[in-house]
Amino acid sequence: MKRLRTLLWLEHRRSWVWAVSLLGSLAFWAWGIKQVHAMDVGERLGIRAGILAMAAGIGAVVLCLMIGRIRAETRHGQYQVLLLTPPTGYTHIAARYLYAAAVGFAYFITIGFLYWWIMALAGIHLDPTTLVELILAVPLYGISVTVLPAMAWTLLLMVFISAYRISGPGWIPGTVMVLGTPFAFRWLVEGIVRVSYTLPGWRLFANAPAALIERFGSPDPGVTMQVNEVMYNGVPLEPLLIMLALTAAFLVIAGRIWQEVEG
């Protein structure tokens, strides 16, 4: 445990500028939200939701960049120093990932809060259950299916490239992996879609429609029916489970590569 703690500390000292900048950037997005001055309430809400979606996307990219900073270390020999420390490769990988994941959680849960805020600004009152779903459940589901696996994949990719770079033409396997990613990704998504809803879905936002109707009035019956259908089915659990399993697999493989390769 002491070793993991030390590695986490190292990771923090190494990356705190990234972490603070990322979390601090939320103040910028919040300011941007305040600046939105559309006439229609619905329009304002829409624009603000879009801003937050952008913040989420950019945040995801920045997190991947933050976690993938291994090349410089390889060049400067710090990788060599770490390779010879007693902790296993799994511990090293875990420390890097946990730090980035913690920053990620903080970031996306804050975005959840900001969604609450823009709803409140639009006059929508959400009950406690929906609030918890908005601030906690949705971000966690969202990042578990997208950002967490993406970060693990980036980490694996960078470890792979650094590792094989040292002994020969490392750019070949790395290029293969990078080029192969879109194909693998498409195949993965198709697979997940096919498998989804085998298990019962996770019902979220059961009370949200009522709150929206209270604020904006009833939508037409066609929309109501569609919404009811989505509400009934809930959010699929399969993607969550598959992506979490993949994340774990990527991390284990990255740890293994770390252990077994030359420095």
* Alpha carbon distances (Å) from 225 to 126, 206, 221, 228: 21, 14, 6, 5
Q: For 250, what's the count of Cα atoms within 13 Å in the CB-facing half-sphere?
A: 21
Among 34, 71, 76, 203, binds another protein (CB under 8 A): 76
Cβ distance to another protein smaller for residue 93 or 111: 93
Nearer to another protein, 13 or 37 (CB): 13
Is residue 83 involved in binding another protein (CB under 8 A)?
Answer: yes
Question: Which range, of 85-93, 155-163, 224-232, 234-242, touches another protein by CB under 8 A?
Answer: 85-93
170 touches another protein (CB under 8 A)? no
Q: Which residues contact 226 (CB under 8 A, 6 or more apart)?
A: none
Dihedral class, residue 232 (left if φ above 0, else alpha if ψ from -120 to 50, else beta): alpha
Per CB under 8 A, 14 contacts another protein: yes
| Structure token pair of residue 240 | 């969550």
CA angle (117, 118, 124) in 5-degree steps: 90
Interacting stretch for another protein, rule CB under 8 A, among 55-63, 74-82, 104-112, 128-136? Answer: 74-82
Task: In whole angstroms, give the CA distance from residue 51 to residue 122.
Answer: 15
CA distance 107 to 23: 6
Q: Does 262 participate in binding another protein (rule CB under 8 A)? A: yes
| One residue of 85, 181, 218, 226 binding another protein per CB under 8 A | 85
Q: Examine residue 5 and tell whether it contacts another protein (CB under 8 A).
A: yes
Residues that bind another protein (CB under 8 A): 2-3, 5-7, 9-10, 13-14, 76-78, 80-81, 83-87, 168-169, 259, 262-263
